[in-house]
Amino acid sequence: MEKTWNVSDEELNLFMEAAVILVKEAGEIISTAMDKQLNKEIHVKDANLGEGHGSSVLTETDMKVEQHLIKGLKSQFSDHEFIGEENFDESTGVVNFTNAPTWIIDPIDGTMNFIHNNPLVCTSIGLAVNKRLVLGIINCPIISFLYTAIKGQGAFLNGKKINVSGTKDLAKAMVIMEMPTGAKEEKRKIGLKNLSELLTKAHAVRAPGPAAMDMAFVGAGSADAYFHCGIHCWDMAAGAVIITEAGGVVLDPSGGEFDYMSRDVLVASSPELAKTMVELVTPYKTTRDYPHSCPM
């Protein structure tokens, strides 16, 4: 039987402190790259082409940031493991995932924004222990928004406690969704269907771009609901902890239990709004990141 890890609140706080320092340093790398116009696309991830343009772009800074974070964390916590976007093999998915503390890293969420010099970019780091999410950090360096949460300790924006809006009525809700530009026809059709439904029922619909930041917005009450099908564990892990600790709801778009390896998520500011969104949204199913169930 695989070892079960016991991690104390004091250790989680130590992990958070170390990771925040590294994430802020990563933010400087991102900011410098944008200032110097080094945010250019260098590679297309062929395996992701059907998911849309935003899922397939890669820059040198993506790789540089991921390496900085993994190297820094590994030097302090040698027994920890890592799942990183730029070290992920689309053909095999996540192969080795143990109960050990595992950092789930998206070095630049919003790479499409990044290459267009749009300031809405972020770094997202979640931590799983015994395959359960316990910590989340989402840093938006250009706009200076740092979201943090540890399970059982609340969620924070720049050190100030945050809560979801509590909005229950879709007619009063700002909903965030992704526009599947460049995706395969089936995904585009489902995206247009969902948008059409929301345009007649929601108070507002927005598409800022980075999935992790979109989730953090809901956690902070800056939006009321968000859904996306076809993203990855590194897009969702940190945001799921932040929203839960901020009092929000995190589900599978079908209405079932959220599974951060399923590549699908729906979040809302209240159970009532979540129920409405589940009834409205048509999910788009994709292959999993990891074959076994991974609830929060």
Q: What does the alpha-carbon distance between residue 151 and residue 12 come to, in Å, rounded to a whole number?
A: 9
The 3-state DSSP class for residue 144 equals coil
Q: What does the alpha-carbon distance between residue 248 and residue 153 come to, in Å, rounded to a whole number?
A: 14
Catalytic positions: 85, 106, 108-109, 111, 235
Q: What does the alpha-carbon distance between residue 198 and residue 196 come to, in Å, rounded to a whole number?
A: 5
Q: Say which amino acid occupies 271.
A: P
Cβ 85 vs Cβ 105: under 8 Å: yes
The 3-state DSSP class for residue 196 equals helix
Q: Say which amino acid occupies 194.
A: N
Greatest Cα pair distance in the chain: 52
Q: What does the alpha-carbon distance between residue 233 and residue 238 come to, in Å, rounded to a whole number?
A: 9
